[in-house]
Structure 1
Amino acid sequence: MSFYQINLAIFTACNAGLLCQQYRRDRQLPKTVEEALEATPTHIEETGTSPSSSRRDVRKFVNDFFPVYAFAVAADWLQGPYIYAIYRYEKDLSEKMVAALYAAGFVAGAVSASFAGRLADRYGRRLACLVYCGVYTVTCLTMLSNNLVVLLAGRVAGGVATTLLFSVFEAWMITEYHHRGLDEDTDVPGPALRLSSVFGYMTTLSCVVAIVSGIIGDALVASLGGRIWPFMASISCCAIAACLIATSWDENYGAKSVGGNALEDIRSGTAAIAEDKRILALGVASCFFEGAMYLFIFFWSAALKSARAHSSSSPWAIAAADEDLPYGLVFSSFMCAMMAGSSLFSALTPVHTQESAAHVLTTAILVASACLGGAAVLTDERVLFWTLCAVEAAIGLYFPSMSFLKSEIVEDGVRGRVYSILRCPLNAFVVLVHSLDEEGDDHRSQVFLALAALLLSAFVIIRLNFKTAPSFDH
């Protein structure tokens, strides 16, 4: 077995252990709830809700949301590892042109962020999720062309789709969660399904889907030839997700007051951010952290290829300098590390508070900062790979903690607008960095060091605006 195959096997085994531990812990809570309900005969008379109906509500919510979310993120993950490679090595575009295409996608994301959430709040989050499926299909189809204008249009569509993926699906889920009464406390210890657990499951599921997608993508490329086939598989995932949304989801909307013009809607979303320093702090943190994540995605393959070239003369070298990296296996390993991070978020406590989630968030930011700083100077392929895996583990901690904090702080009526507006500075930040892109290892190292410094500032901002005592309640 190769180095990357061995690491993937170890990571998979570790994650299997974490998932088993999480499954055993989660099964204990429903049992406790049922026993408490049986010990409270008046519960059904007072609330009209039986343990079985509560479980049915939870099961229906899970069955409605998670399969759709799995196919939606699968469409993104399947082709993710191959975008840079297909532009750079199959279409023979220069690094500057590839960076320009990436930048175009982020510009489109920034522009769409100003209106996507507003339109979703007004016309429906379910409709917006269907639009994501359609727009992402267009993105994948453009990869069949070698025409630069068509490729540019594909990146623009991809930027819009990414904004929708990371805003409207979550907005629909949170509103539906509250609408179905899954957040209601009873005489027993808390609701049957906690929102913090849902966010942990979302990240874990996303990681599992990413791991499988990486393996499937690698198999498609190896068996059918050409890196275009993962994009075709993404189209199938979009079609399945759209069918499930159309047949099983109810529509939900933002505030009833959403009826003014676009400027008023944007102003109300911006005012909600400006009036709460905690939302503003989360916006800054998400800008720096997710910006670092997107730039990490852009640079990791080149960083590993460079490390392979530097260490190829060593007797401990993994492979020859001219041997291609197993992109699918590396990507799956990264997703295993991310999954471990999300499992750790759920394992810390079944009942997260704002304080505990903020503590997890600052820990993730600090770990990512340290690892990106290290990645700027490391030249050994093995050590660099493990360092990049640690960055992915921090990302796994980041997403559920950030999502939980936003769900606690942002009002539901303006959630879509606020979530999408928060993505504006993120996209602008990534575009700015890409506009300064240059060839060579020195530039990449400088970017990693700058990102590490920005993450340190995000760490300080979160610490100043949130209580970050762990206060984990087991």
Structure 2
Amino acid sequence: MDFYQLNLAVFVATNGYLLYRQYNSNSNKKTKEDIDLSLAGSADLETAEKRPDGGAARRFQFNFFLPYALAVAADWLQGPHIYAIYKYEKNLPEKMVAALYAAGFVSGGSAPPLLVDWLIDLGGNERVSVMYCGLYMITCLTMLSDSLLVLFFGRLTGGVSTTLLFSVFEAWMISTYHEQGLHTSGLELSTVFGNMTTLSCMVAIASGVFGDVLVTYSGTRTWPFMASCLCCVGAAFLISKIWNENFGKRSSEQTSLQDLKSGLSAILGDAKIMSLGITSCVFEGTMYLFIFFWSAALASARSQVGSTDDLPFGLIFSSFMCAMMTGSAIFTLQTSTKTVQSTTDMLMTVTLVGCVGAYFPSMAHLKSELIEDGIRGRVYSILRFPLNVFVVVAHSLDVEGDAHRNHVFLACASLLLVAFLVSRRYLVQ
């Protein structure tokens, strides 16, 4: 067992222990609820009988997580190999690779603030989620070509589809949660967000290993992209079969321009939402830059010690995802009350230490508490705009060499400190 395999094994064992603790914690909580219910009066029992039961909550999570798992699998399968296929198989220079990445963020940041809500109003969250699957299939299929025009087109569709993945799926879940009154069943949204991150990490771990297997046996990095296409087909089929359509609470008389104005007003008029936007821009922008640079940074470090062996990018990616899953488990175990204040404390901590796994459920819970359902989709889309600008500007300055990467990492660390100070100033009660 080499270093990378041993590292992954340690992470898997750690996560197994943390998941066991989560299971015990949930079991104890359920036992306490049953005891409280047995001691309740007849009026309380009558009220409890009218609430959605645990079966409804389980069905809701199953119906959401099954297609969601396939949707994120499509993203995770090819994620570790994008830079490598551009750089090492298509032999594109670093500047061109950066331009391709930037194209995705340009398309993801320019259209969706006006487009996402219009699409949801026209077709609903379910149909737009299916649209994500179709766009992502196109993105993956373009990787079979060596034409720069086709590759740039693929990054443009990839940018839009990624924005849909991180907005429409969550919007469908939150709207359905409220429509079914599941808050009375004992299922908290914060729990669903934590489960989303944990599931995403588990899928990413499996996808990283499976993607490496495909590359090893095929001799090319295009196979993970074809596997992503199959995941998109499966996700689209399940969404169309088991999801109920919802459109959120948008007024039929509201135009896309009014959507944009109301979303901007909500952000600019609330210092807490504004601080969430700044924090998400910096943290997620740093994460995306790390995703772009990590494979080249490790390859450079490996060459400096005289090694010429290929790096197992998928295995390393799985280790990253294991670390992310550890952070998600820590969030679930350490913030049992799930108040805005406790989640804010967790968000500030992860901003300082760069704990990605705890960041996503923390940010998702705060946004669910601070942003109204009726404007959620457009606010989420608008908040991604500065993130995309941040990454595009960073990529436009990209040059070859270790020195530039080191400067980017230092600049990102400084910006994370700024995000921490902003959160501390405006989110802390």
- The code of the aligned residue for 2:138 comes to V
Are the counterparts in 2 of residues 120 and 168 from structure 1 also a CA contact under 8 Å?
Answer: no
Are the counterparts in 2 of residues 117 and 419 from structure 1 also a CA contact under 8 Å?
Answer: no
- Give distance in 2, aligned partners of 1:418 and 1:349: 26
- Give distance in 1, aligned partners of 2:93 and 2:358: 35
Are the counterparts in 2 of residues 138 and 154 from structure 1 also a CA contact under 8 Å?
Answer: yes
TM-align CA RMSD: 1.3
- Give distance in 2, aligned partners of 1:160 and 1:115: 12
- Give distance in 2, aligned partners of 1:348 and 1:225: 44
Aligned with residue 349 of structure 1, among 335, 360, 365: 335
Give the C-alpha shift of residue 118 in structure 1. Answer: 1.6
Alignment gaps of 5+ in structure 2:
none
Q: Name the counterpart of 2:21.
A: 21
- Give distance in 2, aligned partners of 1:98 and 1:335: 24
Are the counterparts in 2 of residues 196 and 351 from structure 1 also a CA contact under 8 Å?
Answer: no
Cα distance, 1:176–1:92 mapped onto 2, change above 3 Å: same
Give the C-alpha shift of residue 155 in structure 1. Answer: 0.2
Aligned with residue 452 of structure 1, among 394, 397, 413: 413
SS in 1 for 2:144: coil
Give the C-alpha shift of residue 43 in structure 1. Answer: 2.9
Residues 1:395 and 2:356 aligned together: yes
- Give distance in 1, aligned partners of 2:237 and 2:246: 18
Listed one character per residue, the Cα deviations across residues 84-123 of structure 1 (whole Å, up to 9, x for unaligned) are 0001111111110000000000000001221243225423
- Give distance in 1, aligned partners of 2:252 and 2:198: 34
Aligned with residue 271 of structure 2, among 274, 277, 301: 277
Q: Name the counterpart of 1:467.
A: 428
Are the counterparts in 1 of residues 129 and 169 from structure 2 also a CA contact under 8 Å?
Answer: yes
Q: Name the counterpart of 1:63.
A: 62
- Give distance in 2, aligned partners of 1:263 and 1:340: 41
Q: Name the counterpart of 2:283.
A: 289
Are the counterparts in 2 of residues 88 and 94 from structure 1 also a CA contact under 8 Å?
Answer: yes
Q: Name the counterpart of 2:112.
A: 113
- Give distance in 1, aligned partners of 2:25 and 2:154: 44
Are the counterparts in 2 of residues 171 and 415 from structure 1 also a CA contact under 8 Å?
Answer: yes
Are the counterparts in 2 of residues 285 and 462 from structure 1 also a CA contact under 8 Å?
Answer: yes
Correspondences of 1:158-173 after superposition (within 5 Å): 158-173=158-173
Listed one character per residue, the Cα deviations across residues 330-349 of structure 1 (whole Å, up to 9, x for unaligned) are 00000000000000000103
SS in 2 for 1:226: coil
- Give distance in 1, aligned partners of 2:226 and 2:253: 39
- Give distance in 1, aligned partners of 2:48 and 2:23: 29
Listed one character per residue, the Cα deviations across residues 428-453 of structure 1 (whole Å, up to 9, x for unaligned) are 11000000000000000110111111
- Give distance in 2, aligned partners of 1:248 and 1:215: 29
Q: Name the counterpart of 2:129.
A: 129
Give the C-alpha shift of residue 146 in structure 1. Answer: 0.7
- The code of the aligned residue for 1:331 comes to F
- Give distance in 2, aligned partners of 1:57 and 1:250: 14
Residues 1:416 and 2:415 aligned together: no
- The code of the aligned residue for 2:370 comes to I
More helix per residue: 2
- The code of the aligned residue for 1:165 comes to L
- The code of the aligned residue for 2:298 comes to L
Listed one character per residue, the Cα deviations across residues 402-428 of structure 1 (whole Å, up to 9, x for unaligned) are 000000000000100000110000001
- Give distance in 2, aligned partners of 1:46 and 1:140: 51
Listed one character per residue, the Cα deviations across residues 257-286 of structure 1 (whole Å, up to 9, x for unaligned) are 253332111111111111111001000110
- The code of the aligned residue for 2:125 comes to R
Are the counterparts in 1 of residues 120 and 128 from structure 2 also a CA contact under 8 Å?
Answer: no
Cα distance, 1:256–1:424 mapped onto 2, change above 3 Å: closer
Q: Name the counterpart of 1:435.
A: 396
Deviates more, 1:448-457 or 1:300-309: 300-309
Give the C-alpha shift of residue 304 in structure 1. Answer: 1.0
- Give distance in 1, aligned partners of 2:219 and 2:338: 46
- Give distance in 1, aligned partners of 2:106 and 2:174: 27
- The code of the aligned residue for 2:407 comes to Q
Aligned with residue 367 of structure 2, among 383, 406, 417: 406
- Give distance in 2, aligned partners of 1:241 and 1:454: 37
- Give distance in 1, aligned partners of 2:361 and 2:47: 34
SS in 2 for 1:323: coil
Q: Name the counterpart of 1:386.
A: none
- Give distance in 2, aligned partners of 1:205 and 1:94: 35
Give the C-alpha shift of residue 59 in structure 1. Answer: 1.1
Are the counterparts in 2 of residues 122 and 259 from structure 1 also a CA contact under 8 Å?
Answer: no
- The code of the aligned residue for 2:282 comes to F
- Give distance in 1, aligned partners of 2:72 and 2:350: 22
Q: Name the counterpart of 2:309.
A: 323
SS in 2 for 1:183: helix
Are the counterparts in 2 of residues 140 and 154 from structure 1 also a CA contact under 8 Å?
Answer: yes
Question: Normalised by the size of structure 2, how large is the TM-score?
Answer: 0.97
Aligned with residue 257 of structure 2, among 263, 269, 273: 263
Aligned with residue 198 of structure 1, among 153, 167, 192: 192
Give the C-alpha shift of residue 47 in structure 1. Answer: 4.8
Are the counterparts in 2 of residues 121 and 258 from structure 1 also a CA contact under 8 Å?
Answer: no
Q: Name the counterpart of 1:380.
A: none
Are the counterparts in 2 of residues 258 and 265 from structure 1 also a CA contact under 8 Å?
Answer: no
Give the C-alpha shift of residue 39 in structure 1. Answer: 2.3
Are the counterparts in 2 of residues 64 and 249 from structure 1 also a CA contact under 8 Å?
Answer: yes
Alignment gaps of 5+ in structure 1:
185-190, 313-319, 369-393, 469-474
- Give distance in 2, aligned partners of 1:405 and 1:438: 37
- The code of the aligned residue for 2:24 comes to R
Are the counterparts in 1 of residues 114 and 257 from structure 2 also a CA contact under 8 Å?
Answer: no
Are the counterparts in 1 of residues 71 and 232 from structure 2 also a CA contact under 8 Å?
Answer: yes
- The code of the aligned residue for 1:461 comes to V
Give the C-alpha shift of residue 183 in structure 1. Answer: 1.1
- The code of the aligned residue for 2:265 comes to A
